Structure 1
Amino acid sequence: MRIGRPGFSERLKQRALGLTAAALVLPMAAGIAGTAVAGAAPVAHRAPAGGFEEVFVPSAMGPIKVQIQWAARGGNAALYLLDGLRARNDRNAWTFETNALDQFRNDNVTLVMPVGGESSFYTDWMSPSNFNGQKGTYKWETFLTKELPAYLETRGVSRSNNGVLGLSMGGSAALTLAAHHRDQFKFAGSLSGYLNISAPGMREAIRVAMLDAGRYNVDAMWGPPWNKQWLRNDPFVFAPQLKGLSMYVSAASGLPGAHDNPRAPIDYFNTANGMALEALSLANTRAFQVRLGTLGIPATYSFPARGTHAWKYWENELWNARPQILSALNA
C-alpha cells in the first residue's frame, strides 16, 4: 500500500510540533554553552533566575567580555564589581581572587563583572595611549553607563536599580560613576580607593603606577595635570554630588595582617608594595571622610587596624558591605 503525502491539516500539526521542539531545545542549548553573543540576547521581562554566564557586549571599544552571576530569584537589581589597575583580559579578578560569587549566590541581585580595562580608571579617555601603541581609545564610562545597561535591560536588569563597587582604581571609579550617573546607581563602594587625587603628589603617583601597569600614558586619559578632567574624576572635588547616595568606604592601615604570610623574597617585595599602597589609600580615604563630614553627607566607613593592598582583605570588606548593598537595592 502506498503511503501518500499527509494532508494540509496534518502538515500544520507536524510543523507546530517541530516549532515547539525547537523552542524547547534552543534555550537548553544556550544554557549548556555558557557563553553568549550579546546581540542574540532575547528581550526578557525578568532576569534569569540564578546561574553564571559569560557574554560579549558590543561597545565603541569592540566586544567586551562580561561575567555575570544572575540574581537567585530573577530580581532586577545589579551590582557592578570593578577590578583594579592590573585588570586582566580573560577574567574579572573578583571571580577568582575572592569568594564574591559565593557571597551573593543566594541573593536576589545580579553580579556584573566587566573584563579588561587595565589602567583605565573605567573612564572615557581623550585618546589612545601612545606609549604602548594602544589601538583604540578607552570608553569605559560610556560602556558601563550606556552600552552595558542597554544590554542588561534586555535580560531583565533594571537601568536604575544598580550598585557599583571596586577596589583601588575601581574604588575611585565606583564613586565617580555613581556621582555622575545618579539615575543608575543607588549604592557605591570604594575599597582601598584613591579618593583625593588632587592631593600633592597624587597625579604623579598615578602616572608612575600606570606606566608600571601596561605602560599607559596618563595624559591620554585626562590630559595634563591642569586639565579639568582631573577634577571631574576626583571624589574629593565632586563629593557634593554624592549626597543621598548609599556608600561604603574602606581602607586598612597598611600594617601586615592575617592574610600576609610572606615566605619567598618576591613575597616580601609584594607585601612591602601592598603596605605602601594601602597607607596611601588610607590617607586619601581619611581626607575624603573629612570632606564628606564637612558637607554633612553620611557614609559607612571601615578602617581595619591591619591589612595591606590585597584581595583577601577586599573579600572581607565586600562581605561586610553586603547587607548595606542588598538593602540599598531592595534585593
Structure 2
Amino acid sequence: MRVGGSTRTSGWARRTAAAIALAVALPLGVTMVGGGATASAAFDPAAQDFWVDSSMGPVKSRIWRAADGNTSRVVYLLDGLRAQDDLSGWEINTDAGPFLAAQNINVVQPVGGQSSFYSDWLSNSTFNGQKVTYKWETFLTEELRNALANRLGFQSTRNGVIGLSMGGSAALTLAAYHPDQFNYAGSLSGYLNISAPGMREAIRVAMLDAGRFNVDAMWGPPWNPAWLRNDPFVFANKLRDNGTRVWVSAANGIPAPGGAAPTGVMDVFNATTGASLEALSLANTRAFQVRMATIGAKNVTYSFPPRGIHSWRYWQQQIHDLAPDLSNTIG
C-alpha cells in the first residue's frame, strides 16, 4: 500500500539520518584510542604565535618557519570540528608542524573556529550566545593571507591547504574558490558529499553537540544555495578546471596494529566512535572519487589505507605520506 510504503521509506530515512547524526555528533577531532601521535608535545616552543586582527577579533595562528629559511612555500593546516581556542589539534596531537618545516615548508596552523567549517557565516549563532559572526573564509583568504605576506614575507600564491574531518571539506572549498592562493588542497577523513541523504541533518546535530552552534546561522536552512557552494561533490568541476593538485584520504574504520591498548570504557567508546566516523568519511570520499572520475578529473591522488579510524595517529601518517607531493606542488 502507498501508506505502508511511505511509512517504511520515511522510517528508513529517519533511521539513516539518526545513525549518521550519532556518528558525526560524537567527538570529531578528539584523539581516539590509539590515536595519540607518539611525537606529540602539545605546545611546541619552536613555533611562534602570530596574531592577526579580523572582523571576529584578534585570531591566533601558530607558525613553523621552513628549515631552509624560504618564504615561498606555505601550507595551512585546518583543524576538526572541536577546534580549541589555545592550540590547534595538529600541534597538540601530531608532529605535522616541525615535520613539514624540516621539509622546507612554512606551516600555518590557525587556532580556533570550533564548528565553523572555516566558512563565512550568514549570522552569529544565537543558540550559544555567539557575539560575533564567523568569517573564517575571509580571514584565511584576506586578513591572514595579507598579514603573512606583509609581516613575514610569505608568498601569498601557490600555497597549500590541508584539513581533517570538518577541515577536509573546508580545504577543498577554499582551493576551489581561491585558486590564486591555493594550488594544493588535502582532505583527510573529510566529508565530501554533504548533500547526501542524512548529511545535512547530521551536521546540524554535530554542531549542536560541539558548542551548541546553530547550522542555520552558517549556511541557512537545508534549501539555501550556500549548502551547495560548500559541497565538494557539487563544486568538483572547479577543482578540475583550476588544475588544483588534490590529495584525498579516508580509511575503512578498522583500527591498525600498533596503537595503544584500550584501558577503560571510554577508550572502547572512542575507538567505536572513530570507526563509525571513518566509515562515514570513506563513503563520502568514495562518492567524491566517482564524481571526479565522471567529470574526467585527473588531478587527484587518493589514499585509502587498509586500516584506520578517525584519529590523529592516522592523520599524522597522511601528512608524512603526502609531504613529497605537497613539496613538489607549492611555491
Q: How many residues align?
A: 280
State the match for 2:227 in structure 1: 230
Distance 2:91 2:81 in 1: 16
Alpha carbons 2:77, 2:162 under 8 Å: kept: yes
State the match for 1:182 in structure 2: 179
Quote how far apart the aligned CAs of 1:281 are: 0.3
Quote how far apart the aligned CAs of 1:107 are: 2.4
The amino acid that maps onto 2:56 is M
State the match for 1:68 in structure 2: 63
The amino acid that maps onto 2:223 is W
What secondary structure sits across from 2:255 in the alignment?
Answer: coil
Distance 2:296 2:275 in 1: 31
The superposition leaves residues 33-68 of structure 1 with CA deviations (integer Å, 9 ceiling, x where unpaired) of: xxxxxxxxxxxxxxxxxx521121111100001100
- 5+ residue gaps, structure 1, are 1-50
State the match for 1:249 in structure 2: 248
State the match for 2:136 in structure 1: 140
2:107 to 74, 86, 111: 111
What secondary structure sits across from 2:102 in the alignment?
Answer: coil
What secondary structure sits across from 1:96 in the alignment?
Answer: helix
The Cα RMSD (Å) is 1.0
State the match for 1:163 in structure 2: 160
What secondary structure sits across from 1:199 in the alignment?
Answer: coil
Distance 1:162 1:261 in 2: 38
Distance 1:122 1:290 in 2: 25
Quote how far apart the aligned CAs of 1:72 are: 1.7
1:129 aligns with 2:130: no
The superposition leaves residues 276-325 of structure 1 with CA deviations (integer Å, 9 ceiling, x where unpaired) of: 11000000000000000011112100111111100000000111010000
State the match for 2:326 in structure 1: 325
Instruction: Say which structure, 1 or 2, has more relative contact order (CA 8 Å, 6+ apart).
Output: 2
Quote how far apart the aligned CAs of 1:189 are: 0.2
Distance 1:261 1:167 in 2: 24
Distance 1:280 1:319 in 2: 23
1:287 aligns with 2:284: no
State the match for 1:219 in structure 2: 216
Alpha carbons 2:101, 2:107 under 8 Å: kept: no
Distance 1:106 1:318 in 2: 13
Bigger shift: 190-199 or 71-80?
A: 71-80
Q: TM-score, normalised by structure 1?
A: 0.83
The amino acid that maps onto 2:100 is F
Runs of 4+ in 1 over 3 A off after TM superposition: none
Distance 1:218 1:160 in 2: 31
Q: TM-score, normalised by structure 2?
A: 0.83
The superposition leaves residues 144-200 of structure 1 with CA deviations (integer Å, 9 ceiling, x where unpaired) of: 000001000011111112000010000010000000000000100000000000000
Quote how far apart the aligned CAs of 1:73 are: 2.1
State the match for 2:49 in structure 1: 54
Quote how far apart the aligned CAs of 1:260 are: 6.0
Alpha carbons 1:260, 1:271 under 8 Å: kept: no
The superposition leaves residues 203-250 of structure 1 with CA deviations (integer Å, 9 ceiling, x where unpaired) of: 001011111111111010000000000000000000000011111100
Q: Which has the larger radius of gyration?
A: 1
State the match for 1:78 in structure 2: 74
State the match for 1:306 in structure 2: 307
Bigger shift: 82-91 or 256-265?
A: 256-265
State the match for 1:26 in structure 2: none
What secondary structure sits across from 1:236 in the alignment?
Answer: coil
Distance 1:90 1:168 in 2: 19
The amino acid that maps onto 1:261 is A
State the match for 1:30 in structure 2: none
- Percent identity between the aligned chains? 59
The superposition leaves residues 49-100 of structure 1 with CA deviations (integer Å, 9 ceiling, x where unpaired) of: xx52112111110000110001222222210000000000000111120011
Distance 1:269 1:260 in 2: 14
1:102 to 98, 101, 106: 98
What secondary structure sits across from 2:115 in the alignment?
Answer: coil
The amino acid that maps onto 2:75 is L
